[in-house]
A and B are shown apart, each in its own frame.
Chain A
Amino acid sequence: MADDLQTARAVQDAALATEGVASLGTGRWAEAATYGARDKVTGVVVSPNEVRVHIVVNYPPPEPLPALAERVRERVTSKVGGRPTIVVVEDIEVVQDENL
């Protein structure tokens, strides 16, 4: 359980460090999260069979979504101990212009 949380945190950091990722999604019908004792990591679901990352992407994205999602997947793969990784683009968010 603690290992799952550590994995989820590592995946969260790796995904958020990718250019074009605004934040992590929370899931639509059910919360996408990894749960531990008195703690949870939202946006990453670590299960024995796979790891799923929900990302919210900036608009305009720096590259096409498939390429961006693939880049996130590549970055995350090294943190998940060989489990298959799934990247879900949950939303596309317009970047706020700070000059406005």
Chain B
Amino acid sequence: MRIFNRIIVILLLAGIVALGVTTVFYIFDVSDYHLEDLSRTLGLNGLYDGVNGFVQRAENRNLDVLDIVVLALVALLGLVLLILELKPPSPRRVRMQKGTYVTRKAVEDEVNTAVEESHEVLQSNVKVKAQRRPGAIVNVTASVRPGENARSIEADVRDRVKRRLDQVGIPVGTINVQVRESDPRQTRTRVK
């Protein structure tokens, strides 16, 4: 279950528990609580009136623009949450063959080593995603000095990463390389 949906469900369940406990108090008239007072105590009378009015306006097709926008947004939010819930989670590990996996961290370490071998790269940031099919999607952001030839560095980094992963035998789906100019004073390495 996605974290946002989990929070919503937890809040909903907590509300149901609280309502259940309160209702039990009122049903059994515990310490002067009476069931007929429950709706007034919970402030439901105003809510009933509001819902009644809303339903009547909807039946008369008399909803204002704000109501329609809010309803549309609620429906859209519900749809997004439903899709997120139904979507299978992305795999945690990179599949090599049937029953054999390599962790994303291990792939990241290999890619990092390959990228930082390049003399032009001062710092790199590597993100690896596992695909459902064998192979990984590798996203590399390489920081270089201003004025460097970004296109040749990009090709060089891609080539190094591909060679290193081929050498180790890790299957790769896509390698995305982004070269970013950075101030050497703000990168991990200033000079190579």
Chain A residues near B (Cβ < 8 Å): 28, 59-61, 63-70, 73, 84-92
Q: Which has the most chain B C-beta neighbours within 10 Å: A60, A65, A70, A73?
A: A65
Q: How many A-B residue pairs have CB under 8 A?
A: 62
Is B69 interfacial (CB-CB < 8 Å)?
A: no
Q: How far is the CB of A25 from chain B (nearest CB, A)?
A: 8
User: What's the Cα separation between A25 and B63 when bound, in Å?
Assistant: 62
Which residues of B sit under 8 angstroms from A67, Cβ to Cβ? 169
User: What's the Cα separation between A84 and B168 when bound, in Å?
Assistant: 25
Is B52 interfacial (CB-CB < 8 Å)?
A: no
The answer on a CB contact under 8 Å between B109 and A87 is no
The answer on a CB contact under 8 Å between A69 and B105 is no
Binds A, one of B19-27, B29-37, B93-101: B93-101
The answer on a CB contact under 8 Å between A73 and B100 is yes
The answer on a CB contact under 8 Å between A88 and B102 is yes
The answer on a CB contact under 8 Å between B169 and A61 is yes
The answer on a CB contact under 8 Å between B168 and A64 is yes
The answer on a CB contact under 8 Å between A87 and B100 is yes
Is B156 interfacial (CB-CB < 8 Å)?
A: no
Q: When each residue 84-106 of chain B gets 1 if its CB lies under 8 Å from chain A and 0 otherwise, what string results?
A: 00000000010011011111011
User: What's the Cα separation between A59 and B110 when bound, in Å?
Assistant: 10
Partner of A90, one of B96, B100, B103: B103
Which residues of A sit under 8 angstroms from B99, Cβ to Cβ? 73, 84-87
Which residues of B sit under 8 angstroms from A28, Cβ to Cβ? 103, 105
Q: How far is the CB of A47 from chain B (nearest CB, A)?
A: 15
The answer on a CB contact under 8 Å between A89 and B171 is no
Q: How far is the CB of B96 from chain A (nearest CB, A)?
A: 4
For B170, the closest partner residue in chain A by CB is A65
Partner of B101, one of A60, A63, A64, A88: A88
